[in-house]
């Protein structure tokens, strides 16, 4: 820990220069069209592959195609929340404004993916398990993850003082981080209707190559798409904040 | 690649069979339909918010003249 801190403090001057709002805004503006067009191309290939090329599953038939949407949504809901929890810790320790505002930019995107994961899961569950919903460990912990997203957004929305609201919401995001490994390992720790991990598991993926390839492509495509939306939102938040500061300055001058 | 193209060709020429998804059509298409609607709404919403912020920024720069005094 001490060596990490020493490393951080040695990098601090470079870090400070790279994370000024104007440097970040330039970077985001440059990234935006790459991410946007990248997600259009990757999603087009991914969707054609998932819907038209990938073979039906020998047990699930054509219903397996729901997986190509469901799994990327689940991955993004977990990945975005993990990033939010890690950045919350950094933001609370170093009080870096950019960290607070980046978490703010990620939260609604993650919430949408958590919702889509639950929704597509329910629709998939009906023909496969015979029920839309069961209160088992995987489904319940995923629902709690979505509630953490909503709680984070609600806490930001109801607090008047922006700085205090962001700190309180960061503490909530950090506490909710405990739920992420519970979601991931719930299928190993408890009996569940949900199938166990088939990609990220010891001993490598347990899934046929014809289905694994489009799934991985969809995961990459949806991740690029999520980064695009986060880029838009972060740019918007930074510009709005600059505009607000400028308005306040103008009012002081006038 | 040739296999992939023939699969695409087969599915598109047997379109109603493709849409039926082996009896799972309702489940598959409601997932993809909802996903499309929600994600398209998400993108359009944040693109609009960004455009608004950029417009405010331009207005602000016009209001503030070069020497830093304001004429608003």
Determine the straight-line distance between the first and last CA of chain B, rounded to whole angstroms.
63
And the tokens for B55?
Answer: 């417009």
How distant is the Cα of A66 from the closest Cα of chain B, in angstroms?
6
Tally the domains of chain B.
Answer: 1
- Which of B21, B22, B34 lies at the smallest CB-CB distance from A119? B34
Instruction: Enumerate the β-bridge partners of residue B70.
Output: B64
Extract the tokens encoding B58. Answer: 């331009």
Window 6-65 of B, Cβ < 8 Å to A: 7-8, 11-12, 18, 21-24, 27-28, 30-32, 34-35, 38-39, 42-43, 46-47, 49-50, 53-54, 56-57, 60, 63-64
A235 and chain B in contact, CB less than 8 A: yes
Q: Is residue B47 part of a domain?
A: yes
> Quick one: pLDDT at residue A95?
86
pLDDT tens per residue across span A210-236: 889 999 999 999 999 999 999 999 999
Residue B5 in any domain: the answer is: no
Residue B43's domain spans which residues? 24-63
pLDDT digits (tens, 9 = 90+) for A43-57: 999 999 999 988 888
Q: B14: which chain A residues are within 8 Å (Cβ-Cβ)?
A: none
Question: Closest Cα to residue A156, out of A147, A148, A165, A145?
Answer: A165
- Is B40 within the bounds of a domain? yes
In a domain, B41, yes or no: yes
Are B8 and A236 inside 8 Å of each other by CB? no
Question: Is residue B68 domain-resident?
Answer: no
Does residue A191 come out as left (phi exceeding 0), alpha (psi in the -120 to 50 range) or beta? beta
Distance CA B65, CA B67 (A): 6
Q: Is residue B12, in this structure, part of any structural domain at all?
A: no
When scoring A59, A62, A210 by the number of chain B Cβ atoms within 10 A, the one with the most, hence best to mutate, is A62
Distance of CA A47 to the CA centre of its chain: 21
Nearest to A105 by CA among A18, A20, A24: A24
Q: Is B24 close to A62, i.e. CB distance below 8 A? A: yes
A113 touches B: beta carbon within 8 Å: no
pLDDT 10s per residue in chain B (72 long)?
788 888 888 888 888 888 888 889 899 999 999 999 999 999 999 999 999 999 998 887 776 655 555 544
Structural domain includes residue B55: yes
- The stretch A96-124 carries a mean pLDDT of 95
A238 CA to chain B: closest CA distance, Å?
9
Instruction: Say if B6 falls within a structural domain.
Output: no
pLDDT in tens, A153-171: 999 999 888 889 999 999 9
Provide the 3-class DSSP secondary structure of residue A176: helix
């Amino acid at each position: 820990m001490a060596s990490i801190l020493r490393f951080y403090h040695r990098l601090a001057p470079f870090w400070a220069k790279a994370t000024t709002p104007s440097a970040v805004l330039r970077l985001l503006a440059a990234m935006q069209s790459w991410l946007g067009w990248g997600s259009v191309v990757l999603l087009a290939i991914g969707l054609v592959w998932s819907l038209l090329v990938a073979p039906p599953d020998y047990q699930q038939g054509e219903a397996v195609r729901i997986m190509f949407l469901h799994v990327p949504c689940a991955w993004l809901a977990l990945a975005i929340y993990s990033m939010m929890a890690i950045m919350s810790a950094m933001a609370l320790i170093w009080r870096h404004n950019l960290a607070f505002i980046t978490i703010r930019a990620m939260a609604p995107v993650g919430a949408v993916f958590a919702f889509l994961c639950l929704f597509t899961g329910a629709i998939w569950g009906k023909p496969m398990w015979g029920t839309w919903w069961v209160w088992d460990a995987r489904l319940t912990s995923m629902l709690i993850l979505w509630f953490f997203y909503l709680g984070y957004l609600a806490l930001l929305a109801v607090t008047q003082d922006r700085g205090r609201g962001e700190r309180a919401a960061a503490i909530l995001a950090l506490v909710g981080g405990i739920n992420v490994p519970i979601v991931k390992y719930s299928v190993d720790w408890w009996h569940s209707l949900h199938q166990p991990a088939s990609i990220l598991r010891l001993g490598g993926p347990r899934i046929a190559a014809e289905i694994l390839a489009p799934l991985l492509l969809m995961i990459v495509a949806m991740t690029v798409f999520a980064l695009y939306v986060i880029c838009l939102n972060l740019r918007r938040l930074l510009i709005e904040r600059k505009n607000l500061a400028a308005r306040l300055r103008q009012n002081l001058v006038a | 690649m040739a296999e992939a193209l023939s699969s695409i060709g087969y599915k598109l020429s047997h379109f109603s069979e493709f849409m039926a998804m082996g009896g799972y059509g309702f489940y598959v298409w409601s997932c993809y339909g909802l996903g499309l609607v929600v994600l398209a709404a998400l993108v359009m919403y944040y693109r609009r918010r960004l455009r608004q912020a950029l417009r405010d920024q331009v207005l602000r720069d016009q209001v503030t003249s070069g020497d830093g005094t304001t004429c608003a």
